[in-house]
Every structure is written in C-alpha cells, then in structure tokens.
Amino acid sequence: MTFSRYLVAAAVLTGLAVPTSAQAVPSPSPVKAAAAAAKSYWGATPCNGRVTIAARSRLQAGMDPTTDAWATFSSSFGANNLAAPAATYRNCTIALARWRWPTAASMAEDWDLLCATVIHETGHLLGRTHDSRRRSVMAPVFDDATIAPAVCRTARPRAARRG
C-alpha cells in the first residue's frame, strides 16, 4: 500500500486554485493538532504563520486520484515555485483530500498519516523539496503510517488516543 504525496506539480498543471472547500469550514481538532505538530517538527512557521489548512478538499482537474494532500502558494518566482526563497511565499494553503479524510473522525482514526502529511506539506511551504530517502518525511510517497515523526505521538489529539 502506498500513499501518494503529490503536491505542487498538480497545482502547477492546473493553475493556482485555492480549494473551494476552504471557505468557512472550521478546522477539525485533528487538523489543528497536526499543524501544531508541524510547527514543532520544523521549529518554524511558514508564510509568517498564515497557512490555511483546507480539510475535505476536492481534487482538482488533472490531479492523480491517489492524491491525498497538496500545498499551494504564491512566491517571488510565481505560483508554487519551490526555487523561490521561502520567505517570499504568500497565500499558503494545505489542502487535505476529502476522499481520504472525509470527517474529523476519519482524521483522528488515521492520525499518524494525517500528521505526517501535514508535516510534509508544511515542509514544502518552508521551501523543502522532495527527498528520495524512503523514510524521510519529505519522501514523495509514504509506505505506511510508521513514517510519522515522534512529534506526532506527543501531538496526538485526545479523540485519536487509544486505550
């Protein structure tokens, strides 16, 4: 089983489009917990702390159907260009696919992958590119949920705790 990390390439193909589900949907607590884990993991906050995480986003035209998350931003080099200095990134969005995480309960249930995914996407918003090492959180594809960094265990939301 593989989990596709498909990011910026799709957004480049389709043009910069903020997911339509971004409006007025409060972030479920697992999303907030994952954002906190990402901040802790990287020791930095991208985009001057202004990142919109759009849960339950619909895939955009041309995206691989296995895409479960993607990041979009504008930069001094144009849309979604990781070659630009990360300090110039604005309009930063992380979209989480509705098909993969349709409910807050599903996010809690699938916490480790959600957490690792938000860390990965946040890495892009900090200017990180993909890492070919399989066990890297910046790997383009995750083999399984054990990829989740230790910070995901301490940041685990109450609803996702077991036992």
| Interface residue list for Zn ion (CB under 5 A) | 5, 7
Neighbours of 68 (CB within 10 A): 24
Residue 162 C-beta: closest distance to Zn ion, Å:
28
- Which residues, in sequence order, are bridge partners of residue 141? 4
Q: Which is nearer to Zn ion, 3 or 111 (CB)?
A: 3
CB 102 to Zn ion: min, Å? 22
| CB of residue 8 to Zn ion, shortest distance in Å | 7
Whose CB is nearest to Zn ion?
A: 7
| Six-digit token string for 36 | 């906190």
Nearer residue to Zn ion within complex by CB, 5 or 56: 5
**Quick one: 100 or 157, whose CB is closer to Zn ion?**
100
The DSSP-derived string for 46-68 is SGGG-EEEEEEEPPPTT--TTB-
Q: Check residue 26 and report its DSSP letter.
A: P
The amino acid occupying position 53 is I
Q: Closer CB to Zn ion, residue 7 or residue 31?
A: 7
Q: What are phi and psi of 117, to 5 degrees?
A: -65, -45
